[in-house]
Amino acid sequence: MQLTKLEIKGFKSFGDRVVINFDEGITGIVGPNGCGKSNVVDSIRWVLGEQKVKSLRSEKMENIIFNGTKNRKATQMAEVSLSFKNTKNLLPTEYSNVTITRRYYRSGESEYQLNGVTCRLKDITSLFLDTGIASNSYAIIELGMVDNILNDKDNSRRGLFEEAAGISKFKIRKKETMRKLSDTDADLERVEDLLFEIE
């Protein structure tokens, strides 16, 4: 699987549409302090579904929308699209090219898309489960994360190995199933109460 393209529009310092193509090999982003290099990484984290604004170096979600400059008006929406070439069918989908998109409006509304079709965040996270690509996965390593891994803060090292070993999805499914079982238990108790009342 290869990352092929990143499109950013109205996200943080990117008022205009910016397209970054990732060719084969290593792509480096260089520029002076404050020019937006880390914002590029934030945009990747965000489109993958990051919900914690602190991880995006912001105080509130609205702050990720381009705020304008002296000469430019602020935008009403942030939009990021990330494209992958699904070589080796690593992603469980029939598409050979996969593009995920996230939009966020000042009104607070947001939208996710998979190849141009509106979907849920869950569809995107499920698609990338155990591929090593996620907003909090080892695909994006920042300074703080290196410290956390070395200090094994919050069992972070174990989480890393579980993701690499491909067992995260089973743990998530187990958690979902346990929740459904507990809901069903609660429903059964309610039915028993009702039966008792009727009798």
10 binds ligand ATP (CB under 6 A): no
Interactions with ligand ATP, residue window 51-110 (CB under 6 A): 63, 65-67
Q: Which among 30-38, 81-89, 132-140, 182-190 is the span making contact with ligand ATP, rule CB under 6 A? A: 30-38
Hey, what are 85's tokens? 């070439």
The distance of closest approach from Cβ of residue 36 to ligand ATP in the complex, given in angstroms and rounded to an integer, is 4
Q: Should residue 113 be labelled a site residue for ligand ATP when binding is judged by CB under 6 A?
A: no
Cβ(83)–Cβ(98) below 8 Å: yes
C-beta closer to ligand ATP: residue 46 or 66 = 66
Smallest separation (angstroms) from ligand ATP to the CB of 143: 10
**Long-range contacts at 101-107 (CB < 8 A, ≥ 24 apart):** 101/47, 102/46, 102/47, 102/49, 103/77, 103/78, 103/79, 104/61, 104/64, 104/65, 104/77, 104/78, 104/79, 105/76, 105/77, 106/62, 106/65, 106/76, 106/77
Answer for which of 7, 8, 9, 36 binds ligand ATP (CB under 6 A) is 36
Chain contacts with ligand ATP (rule: CB under 6 A): 12-13, 31, 33-39, 63, 65-67
